[in-house]
């Protein structure tokens, strides 16, 4: 098939000339998901046009468009003539008038801007969008893009936005209880929150800022465990946060690193088998933290689970079924 993939266009850092690419230079869940889905689609023999991420590396059967506005995207789609449009931008880049079959993956919380032919990352996210009949397709991972290590260093890892919702504070508290250091990597747009975290756990936390490339892959591979203690309440925007897909869980597992997570949103659906779930708000003492670490599955087991459940070719094939169904429906 000829598939056009639309990514929300985000600037990279302070440089006004650079966009976040696919895969991203640092932080970027949607960009990592698109990169691994494209890997799978290309391996299955499809052609992809990527829009909204100028500067991304092109390769055989993958064309990278310079388009970053709705008008530019409309022109690029007219020139390339895809059979299907796959939107990850919550309609930001979708042409006003829909002339082609379109599928939308929802990456956020709540009700998406476009519900028709919607795909969700978890049952929890789908339920929060009140879209119970829509398909759930998990975030893919490409094991070839991850570094696998059975040998682990003595640290825990938090990799993501340093935000109330993502639970780095609870991760630091867990590490402190376990008596292990934690490396925290990711952008910190809620600066008061970061300062609080660093002042409450000065001997436990090492804050690395945003990481990418081989540093990121090594951090994921060498950690004893990844902590994903996502929190439903307390974020800067109010309301509830229902963890939608959690890209880091499959990335850690494919790197042979088990996960300790809360039961918020998708986490209780995807962590069993690659780690353990601790209900949100459970106070953790040293004995409980140590017991949780001891109970974690082995690196080989979590790697195998990640490949089996979320391998990029398997997930790409699920999307191809949805694309085919959508194009057939639009013909009839």
Residues that bind ligand UDP (CB under 6 A): 26-29, 32, 159-161, 185-186, 210-212, 216, 245-248, 251
- How far is the C-alpha of 255 from the C-alpha of 228, rounded, in Å? 15
Residue 30 vs 131, nearer CB to ligand UDP: 30
CB of 325 to ligand UDP, least distance (A): 26
**Distance of closest approach, residue 218 Cβ to ligand UDP, in angstroms:** 12
| Residue with smallest beta-carbon separation from ligand UDP | 29
Instruction: Look at strands 84-87 and 102-105 and give their pairing.
Output: parallel
* Size of the chain in residues: 332
DSSP letters, 27-93, are S-HHHHHHHHHHHHHHHTT-EEEEES-TTPPPBTTEEE----SHHHHHHHHHHH--SEEEE-STTTT
Spatial distance between the Cα atoms of 174 and 228, rounded to a whole number of angstroms = 11
**Of residues 29 and 299, the one with the C-beta less far from ligand UDP:** 29
Closest to ligand UDP by CB, 1 vs 208, is: 208
Query: CB of residue 243 vs ligand UDP: minimum separation in angstroms?
Result: 7
Integer CA distances (angstroms), 129 to 68, 106, 299, 326, in order:
27, 9, 34, 20
DSSP sequence for 266-305: THHHHSBTTEEE--TT----HHHHHHHHHTPPPHHHHHHH
State the DSSP string of 192-219.
HHHHHHHHHSTTTEEEEES--HHHHHHH
Q: In angstroms, what is the minimal distance from the CB of 217 to ligand UDP? A: 9
What three-state secondary structure class fits 184?
strand
Smaller CB distance to ligand UDP: residue 30 or 84? 30
Phi, psi for residue 193 in degrees, rounded to 5: -65, -45
Phi, psi (deg, nearest 5) at residue 48: -130, 135
Nearer to ligand UDP (CB atom), residue 7 or residue 185:
185
Task: Pick the closer one to ligand UDP by CB: 82 or 168.
Answer: 168
Q: Least Å distance between CB 159 and ligand UDP?
A: 5
3-class DSSP assignment, residue 313:
helix
* Minimal distance, residue 300 CB to ligand UDP, in Å: 22
Give the residue with the Cβ less far from ligand UDP, 261 or 299: 261
Q: How far is the CB of 330 from ligand UDP (least distance, A)?
A: 30
């Amino acid at each position: 098939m000829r598939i056009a993939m639309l990514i929300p266009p985000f600037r990279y850092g302070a440089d006004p000339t650079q966009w976040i690419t696919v895969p991203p230079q640092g932080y970027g869940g949607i960009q990592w998901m698109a990169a691994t889905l494209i890997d799978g689609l290309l391996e299955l023999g499809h052609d992809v046009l990527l829009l909204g991420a100028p500067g991304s590396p092109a390769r055989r059967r993958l064309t990278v468009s310079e388009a970053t506005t709705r008008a530019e995207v409309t022109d690029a789609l007219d020139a390339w003539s895809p059979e299907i449009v796959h939107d990850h931008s919550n309609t930001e880049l979708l042409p006003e008038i829909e002339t082609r079959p379109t599928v939308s993956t929802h990456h956020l919380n709540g009700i998406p801007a476009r519900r028709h032919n919607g795909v969700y990352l978890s049952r929890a996210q789908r339920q929060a969008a009140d879209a119970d009949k829509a398909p759930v397709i998990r975030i893919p991972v490409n094991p070839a893009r991850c570094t696998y290590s059975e040998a682990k260093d003595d640290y825990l890892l938090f990799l993501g936005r340093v935000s109330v919702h993502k639970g780095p504070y609870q991760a630091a508290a867990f590490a402190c209880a376990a008596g292990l250091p934690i490396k925290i990597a990711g952008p910190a747009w809620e600066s008061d929150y970061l300062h609080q975290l660093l002042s409450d756990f000065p001997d436990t936390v090492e804050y690395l800022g945003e990481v990418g490339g081989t540093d990121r892959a090594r951090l994921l591979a060498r950690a004893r465990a990844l902590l994903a203690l996502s929190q439903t309440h307390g974020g800067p925007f109010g309301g509830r946060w229902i963890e939608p897909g959690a890209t880091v869980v499959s990335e850690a597992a494919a790197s042979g690193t088990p996960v300790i997570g809360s039961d918020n949103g998708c986490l209780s659906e995807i962590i069993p088998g690659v780690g353990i779930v601790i209900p949100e708000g459970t106070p953790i003492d040293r004995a409980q933290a140590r017991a949780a670490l001891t109970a974690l599955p082995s690196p080989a087991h979590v790697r195998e689970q990640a490949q089996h459940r979320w391998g990029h070719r398997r997930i790409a094939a699920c999307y191809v079924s949805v694309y085919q169904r959508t194009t057939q429906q639009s013909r009839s």
